[in-house]
Structure 1
Amino acid sequence: MLRDGFDIGLWFVVGLVFTVTAVAALVLAAMARADAYRAADKQTKNFWLIMLGVTVLVNFLGIFFLQIAGLVASIVFLVDVRPALRQVSGGGGRRGGSSSDGPYGPYNGGR
């Protein structure tokens, strides 16, 4: 009996993690500009919105093997597409730097 309660709680947490990941990816995909997808040479914004929207829907329906496929799509977006979008949109992750900054600080042209 205790084991059954643990299994239900575990599956609830797993499903919640899948759903939160998919919703976060969907929101981030919706916030990016459509031309950034083309500039980053990724699929279109509509493609990602549909893919991640279906993923959110599948997570709410609770179809486990499709949830796993949706999690893979969400991870691909978060790990591959979003950093490329940020790079072409000018949000490369550095805050307050200039265009002459290198990986270890400002480049002063050998001065």
Structure 2
Amino acid sequence: MHLYGLMANILLVIAVGVFAVCVYAFVNAAMQRPDAYTATGKQTKPIWLAILGLAILLAVTGWLSVMGTAIAAAAAGVYLADVRPRLLEVQGKSR
């Protein structure tokens, strides 16, 4: 196998993983109460759904662009690492 083929396969696996994380983040964001977003001061629910929806789109087309995959991973990462814990805290749910 050529080095280029190996690298392409690795990037494809990463893009699929980022896609899965983005879908999980989107579904989780959709399941949270809208008032919890306001209480945390972390934008509104529609804004986060739009950000994560765009991240899913970028992840789907990520095999075309490494930058798109990186942006999608960053968006999902910010939601999962920063916003989601605060939402759960405000709603009195465990992590």
TM-score by length of 2: 0.88
- Post-superposition offset of 1:3: 2.4
Are residues 1:24 and 2:24 paired? Answer: yes
Q: Which runs of 5+ in 2 are unaligned?
A: none
Query: Paired residue for 2:40?
Result: 40
Structure with the bigger percentage of helix: 2
Residue equivalent to 1:89: 91
The amino acid across from 2:46 in the alignment is N
8 Å Cα contact 2:58/2:71 also seen in 1:
no
Structure 1 unaligned segments of length 5 or more: list them: 94-111
Give me the CA root mean square deviation: 1.3
User: Aligned residue pairs: how many?
Assistant: 93
Identify the residue that residue 61 of structure 1 maps to in structure 2. 61
Aligned partners of 1:66 and 1:9: how far apart in 2?
17
Distance across 2 between alignment mates of 1:53 and 1:88: 24
Residue identity matched to 1:69: I
Max Rg structure = 1
Aligned to 1:92, the other structure's residue is in SS state coil
Paired with 1:3 and 1:84, the residues of 2 have a C-alpha distance of 43
User: How far apart in 2 are the matches of 1:12 and 1:77?
Assistant: 23
**CA separation in 2, counterparts of 1:7 and 1:73?**
24
Report the TM-score when normalising by structure 1.
0.77
TM superposition shift of 1:86: 0.3
